[in-house]
Amino acid sequence: MRSGRFKADAPPGSRFKGYAGFLVQDLVIRAHGIAFRRECWRTPDGKMAPAPLPAGVDGHFGAELRRFVLVQYHQRQVTAARLVARLRGFGVVISKRPVVRLLIDAKQSFLNEARDVLRAGLTNAAWITADDTGARHKGKNGFCTQIGNARFAWFGTTGSKSRLNFLELLRAGREDHVINDEALACARARAGPVVARLSEHENRVFADRAAWRAHLERLGLAALKVHPDPSADRQRRRSVGQPQGARPARRRGDRQRRRRPVQGRPPWPVPGPRRPSGSQARYVHRRPTRRAKRASAL
């Protein structure tokens, strides 16, 4: 912000009483380029060794330009073609391919930031809520899970909404598996023999999922099946045409509520080409009585 002083054309005899402020806001958008001159040295083995770039420089486009492209595309719904035209209007030398690369490449830093937000929220939050909804990703149906509270929010898209998938999301990117006292106490209420095998073994910490899976196979726990098998139940629902969230179809021998059969109505008489009027029309369209049925039978 810059400031300036302006003199007033006051008549003779006036007294100076200070300054009156007046703020004017404006927006300046222009291209800003920085040319670095890096020293280049040839090593004895014939390779070139240029001087490194300053910290924060990643590619030929600065952080402000990257931020502008991401905000315009994701929050303002500006297409890539219009982004190219707008940047060229500002004086930036750019084509459509670099804009698309700015939108889809090198986004691991954003994923790491989202992971850190989830970890901090799960560690410090007094309570959290979770919800999921259907979402399409790369042309396939998936599920978007939301975890958060009044202070933070995290979203993750996966191909499943099972209990194991939700527990995997709560791990917030951690790969290790640990068997501690809290895990054993939670598992004792669900599966007693399995907990005994896990607690008796000396190995309690595993580096990744492969090591944890190998440990379960050595203990003979990987071959255990859940009753009823959820995968078999989903396959049976697909075969009978039921949706995934519907109640399972009744099996033979299950108790079911029997309903009274619905009796069909007798056919109504159809009037002739000339529609009768008045009481005759009401009589024609009225349901036949028992006496009329006897007369027609005779």
- Domain boundary (121, 151, 170) is at 170
User: Is it the case that residue 285 has pLDDT exceeding 60?
Assistant: no
Q: Which residues contact 99 (CB under 8 A, 6 or more apart)?
A: 69, 80, 83, 84, 87
As a whole number, the mean pLDDT across the chain is 79
Residue 237, pLDDT score: 55
User: Does residue 143 sit in the same domain as residue 96?
Assistant: no
* Within-domain flag for 214: yes
Report yes or no on whether pTM surpasses 0.75.
no
In the numeric block, which tokens belong to residue 148?
């958060």
Phi and psi torsions of 171, nearest 5°: -75, -15
Instruction: Decide: helix, strand or coil at residue 126.
Output: coil
Number of domains making up the chain = 3
User: Does residue 164 sit in the same domain as residue 184?
Assistant: no
As a whole-number percent, the residues of the chain with pLDDT over 70 amount to 73
User: Is it the case that residue 248 has pLDDT exceeding 80?
Assistant: no
- Structural domain of residue 203, as residue ranges? 176-240
Rounded to whole angstroms, how far apart are CA atoms 235 and 217?
A: 26
Rounded to whole angstroms, how far apart are CA atoms 191 and 227?
A: 12
Residue 120, pLDDT score: 92
> Which of the residue ranges 7-21, 78-92, 243-257 has the most confident prediction, judged by mean pLDDT?
78-92
First to last CA, the chain: 108
User: Does residue 193 sit in the same domain as residue 165?
Assistant: no
User: Is it the case that residue 218 has pLDDT exceeding 70?
Assistant: yes
Query: For residue 48, what are the β-bridge partners?
Result: 42
- Domain boundary (194, 219, 240) is at 240
Q: Which of these, 176, 180, 224, 223, lies nearest to 198 by C-alpha position? A: 180
pLDDT, greater one: 293 or 258: 293
- Domain boundary (84, 104, 124) is at 104
* Within-domain flag for 133: yes
* Within-domain flag for 4: no
pLDDT band at 185 (very low <50, low <70, confident <90, very high): confident
How far is it between the farthest Cα atoms of the chain? Answer: 128
User: Is it the case that residue 99 has pLDDT exceeding 80?
Assistant: yes
User: Does residue 142 sit in the same domain as residue 194?
Assistant: no
* Within-domain flag for 283: no
User: Does residue 126 sit in the same domain as residue 182?
Assistant: no
**CATH number (domain holding residue 126):** 3.30.160
Query: Sign of torsion, CA 137 138 141 142?
Result: negative
